[in-house]
Structure 1
């Protein structure tokens, strides 16, 4: 049985372990030579630096990554940041853990894996590139699997893989096999690419090809939820990095239905956010595709999410409705939904600054359309005037402030024409029937 341990620091350089269970009154002091000179914790992966001092790898890496170039103990400048595993100390620590654990529940630290080096990564890239050019999907699968396993071992490995060209080669591999039937290989490459971003302009050129996009849209319809999430995430990241990708993606048959179905299926919060963000970028870059999204029922679906979704999803749903209203057709469709104006008033400014910005923009667009008088009157009756005043008091960006000011002027004029200008801002809208 392993018992929980409580750590208590005594003095400046000593730490003791005291069993919480009380089965033993013996206090175990970690030998100084087993403590990291930086954290004073028991070293799990002791390494020797250029000064000859041993540290725990995680601690000394954080020290170096913070910009320091000296040895923490000797204060001498480190000529190299190489770290050599101290196998002797590690073995002694493991033996000590076994000895102490026999009656105090201390677990033996596992033998750490040696981090991957830039040279090893370069070799893997070279082999993957060669296998891709040969069309050897079996060898490519083995190498991608090795990359995936290395990334799972530690964040340090992931960083080394990202910084040494793996992302670009994976993009080349994905594009090369995008129109093949090697679904497993493509799914593995896709899963690794989600933590390889950014892949650079050359990598994007490969992964954002028409063939690659068709493959990813196909994955959005997969039976495997994790594959669907990975595809949505990667598409979202590509669209956010370069608006021209939206023109290529929009040419893929069924991409609109695929994104909306992923949202409707509620696979996960992350996939919903990725899909909404991707849709936003697609419409922003190419407004003429709004009609295709309207055919999927996106407006009603977005409104439904604003009703009860979490903050981040609500933000993105509002942004999507706002960008849809940039077009005449989209504005007409949004204005048909009886829940839109009540929701805008109710949610503003409760969710976040970003959501308030989208809400104000959306309300402004609805109140300036053909049926502007009706929209303005509805907003007034729902208490929008008071809510907009709150937005000004709380503070907002210049663009939002201009829209709020214009809305207040329109509403002030409307209130003068209305017989009853005493509006209850807490008005409930549960009586409204959902159009979906």
Structure 2
């Protein structure tokens, strides 16, 4: 059954309704007919009858007899259809291989049909993907075509080819070299982020994240007008956690300089992260980790600390996420609080943290299996927060945590 369904999906075939079981809606493997004349897959109708039903599922007629008769003619038709579908699939793969070979070798151009054949060729096996990655001349032509692309569909297809080969030996280095030489590629990436399908946007964000490992490429990406804005927009796609994660992860890799951090703050990244953290119970773990990672990064500059400290919802979200998501998220959260309260000495932020039970959370982090650096930051935070909370409020907690000696 899975093989039959896969054939239909891969070949975009419309399965004749006659071949579908009225119960499961899948292609029938062993068609049998009831006395009403309706044909079902044997396994489906047997389950129906085993549940105590005495009616025909399609007509709801009462069955005078529950015996079934194999529909041999229909089975022969289904078997013939499947064999033809398999032959068509095999032919399609062979055509894809030949066209892909021509495209990779340079014997054919880079239009949408040829690029789709290359993608099919890569999907067929990992060896094919490696072959594409090792074709340096083809990668050069891809990047050149990306820089010149006027159709969004072409840009999306090129991104779909580049994404799977990024981690192959030498590809990332070659792409960095080519993009440093031809900055027009970044304009095409912006176009995909603006107009492409969600999956294409996610692939583009991943490519930019990989490229940002090179300092020179990262600088060009940071300085490209509108690129950070589009990645930020991707991180606000609340209905698609994969898109949010890809956007935040790319921003985390790219926004390492103060000007880039200031741009993110101006775009509203603190409020966006606050929204994510306010619903952390329902957020995907990786999204929460990336969101707190971005906050930690922008908290290293004065403007970032000011923006975070002024957003009470964001502060409350940071405190709530401590010890609730993962060790990585907790360490990011502690680092943000330390930057605000110890490095920035933000008294108003410290009071907000106290009001949302921040001291208790920091003490719990200290008792956990956190890193030495995180524990040291917690020591500093306890000193600040104790001074804000006052002994009368702290006393009930101290009686339960007398083993903690923060300083």
**TM-score exceeds 0.5:** yes
Q: What's the C-alpha RMSD, in Å, of the aligned pairs?
A: 3.7
What is the aligned counterpart of 1:179 among 142, 145, 148? 148
Q: 1:265 to 1:345 in 2, by over 3 A?
A: closer
Distance in 2, Cα, partners of 1:127 & 1:407: 61
Other-structure match for 2:202: 229
Mapping of residues 401-420 of structure 1, within 5 Å? 401-416=375-390, 420=393
Query: Residue deviations 1:358-395, cap 9 Å, x none?
Result: 11111111112444344334333432222222223331
Mapping of residues 6-405 of structure 1, within 5 Å? 20=43, 110-111=86-87, 113=90, 123-124=101-102, 126-128=104-106, 137-138=110-111, 141-152=112-123, 154=124, 156=125, 158-165=126-133, 168-177=136-145, 178-198=147-167, 199-207=171-179, 209-222=182-195, 224-239=197-212, 241-266=213-238, 268-284=240-256, 286-308=257-279, 309-405=283-379
More helix by share: 2
SS for the counterpart of 1:395 is coil
- Decide whether the 8 Å contact of 2:152 with 2:191 is kept in 1: no
- Give structure 1 stretches of 5+ with no counterpart: 6-18, 25-97, 426-436
The alpha-carbon deviation at position 355 of structure 1 amounts to 0.8
TM-score normalised by the chain length of structure 1: 0.64
The alpha-carbon deviation at position 164 of structure 1 amounts to 4.8
- Give structure 2 stretches of 5+ with no counterpart: 1-20, 22-26, 31-41, 48-71, 399-407
Q: 1:409 to 1:260 in 2, by over 3 A?
A: same
The alpha-carbon deviation at position 123 of structure 1 amounts to 4.4
Distance in 2, Cα, partners of 1:184 & 1:103: 39
Task: Name which of structure 1's ranges 365-374 and 396-405 shifts more when overlaid on structure 2.
Answer: 365-374
The 4+ residue runs of structure 1 with deviation greater than 4 A are 1-5, 19-24, 98-109, 119-123, 166-170, 413-416, 422-425
Distance in 2, Cα, partners of 1:122 & 1:227: 21
Q: 1:105 to 1:327 in 2, by over 3 A?
A: same
Q: 1:23 to 1:220 in 2, by over 3 A?
A: closer
Other-structure match for 1:70: none
Distance in 2, Cα, partners of 1:341 & 1:329: 16
Aligned length: 326
- Decide whether the 8 Å contact of 1:101 with 1:107 is kept in 2: no
